[in-house]
């Protein structure tokens, strides 16, 4: 997994300058906070999560619809 260095901040820097974190999230949509030089925390723009959730709910309904069609295919053919 390739991680953009612009999206990485140490936990010390995040503690000392949280406004920097918010600015990065505003432009990059996310920031990874490193602890002991390893990714530990992820801060994501809330709108990104909401959009992802909407998309996955939509896909779930599509799957349910497909399953119903395949399960009842013979009945739908008669209609």
H helix or E strand, kind and range, residue 18: helix 18-28
State the pLDDT at residue 48: 81
Per the DSSP assignment, residues forming a β-bridge with 30 are 44
- The predicted-structure confidence for 7-62, as pLDDT tens digits, reads as follows 899 999 999 999 999 999 999 888 999 999 999 999 999 888 777 666 666 666 67
pLDDT digits (tens, 9 = 90+) for 37-47: 999 999 999 88
Note the pLDDT of residue 40: 92
- Tell me the CB-side half-sphere exposure of residue 12, using CA atoms within 13 A: 2
In this prediction, residue 26 carries a pLDDT of: 93
pTM: 0.59
Q: Hunting for tokens 């739908």 — which residue is that? A: 76
Q: Mean pLDDT, to the nearest integer, of 60-68?
A: 71
Question: What pLDDT, on a 0 to 100 scale, did the predictor assign at position 19?
Answer: 94
């Amino acid at each position: 997994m390739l991680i953009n260095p612009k999206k990485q901040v140490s936990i010390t820097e995040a503690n000392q300058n949280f406004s920097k974190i918010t600015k990065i999230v505003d432009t990059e949509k996310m920031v990874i906070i490193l602890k002991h030089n390893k990714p530990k925390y992820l801060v994501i723009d809330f709108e990104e999560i909401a959009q992802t959730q909407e998309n996955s709910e939509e896909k779930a309904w599509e799957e349910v619809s497909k399953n119903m069609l395949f399960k009842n295919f013979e009945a739908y053919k008669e209609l």
